[in-house]
Amino acid sequence: MTEARHHYLLHGLTVDSDVALAEDAPGDGGSASDEAPLRLARGADRRVPSSLPLDAFEVARVEAGDRTLCVVGRSADGWGIRYPGLLEVVLDADAEHAVAHVDPGAPEGFAPVLLSAGVLAFVLTIRGHLVLHASCVEIDGRAVALVADSGGGKSTLAALLCAGGARLVSDDITRVDPDGPDAVTVFRGSREIRLRPHGPDVMELLASHPQRVTVDDRAAIAVAVTTSATVPLAHVVLPVLRDDLTVPTLEALGAEQAVLTLLGKLRAGGIRDGRFLEAHFGALADLVERVPVSRLHLPWTRPFDRASIDAYVDVIHSLC
């Protein structure tokens, strides 16, 4: 394997890579992780199908209609993560060494985005970590995780909170680890928030922050970022965005309801392997014993303004 040219610290994992990751992937900044680094090499380009090798056991599959978006398999030699027509990553059994093969037909620039997001989420999951589909912000040294499906508003809410003084911990992916008998830690993982196309109100409220257009036509906004590699987690929030409310309403979830709800909000989606599901169930049960989980019903009316931001910051601050 050739010497790595790029060094990152993403979600508590050191990545030494021959491949440049997404532009918002934070460099290691001289920091180090206690666990084994992920060493990523660039392999030869090759076609990436939606099927797995015959000797592989299917662990996860993500589909949209009749289209396979991602499939993950395990064999005696290790793991394979395939994004048909885009990218395949082959991992050793310990998920410490990886080789990335880009499909010749893949659009330029998609592989780094997939490597920094979906692939890394699966690597962390394979290594036994709990990874939620969540954006996460820090207020006064404590974090709130905003958990939602794609399109559920978590990144937009995180961006508006950052416009009101919060700091970004991570966007779209949040690694959650126990820290002692009572505490839980989340890990820094992004330097930008990526938003789907929005109306002018959102972009104007964030106009003071540097912005760029990503390869998948999203707006990447460089908001203020936490200065800590890890932040204590104060609350897990499932935003419910409503246009019929005038004031926020908090609905605390019981332990069983919280576990079952969060089990459907894992960032490494489509898991079909019972052993992974059992491990996640146990990790979530531990999480909800240590950290409150609530649905937060929020007034969500356009256009957003400074009063909207202040109201969102106030309610999130109260959960810290």
- Using the structure block, give the residue that is written with the tokens 């256009």: 303
Every domain of the chain and the residues it spans = 6-127, 132-318
- The single-letter code of the amino acid at 103 is D
Return the bridge partners of 186, or none.
176, 231
CB 109 within 8 Å of CB 103: no
Per CATH, the number for 132-318 is 3.40.50.300
Q: How many alpha carbons lie under 13 Å from residue 320 in its C-beta half-sphere?
A: 20
Please give the model's pTM, rounded to 2 decimal places.
0.93
Reduced to 3 states (helix: H, G, I; strand: E, B; else coil), residue 43 is: coil
d(Cα 70, Cα 302) in Å, to the nearest integer?
A: 35
Give the chain's largest Cα–Cα span.
58
Per residue of the chain (320 residues), what is the pLDDT tens digit?
Answer: 455 588 899 999 999 999 888 766 666 655 667 789 999 999 999 999 999 988 899 999 999 888 999 999 999 999 999 999 999 999 999 999 999 999 999 998 889 989 999 999 999 999 999 999 999 999 999 999 999 998 899 999 999 999 999 999 999 999 999 887 778 999 999 889 998 877 788 888 888 999 988 888 888 899 999 999 999 999 999 999 999 999 999 999 999 999 999 999 999 989 989 889 999 999 999 999 999 999 999 999 888 889 989 999 999 999 98
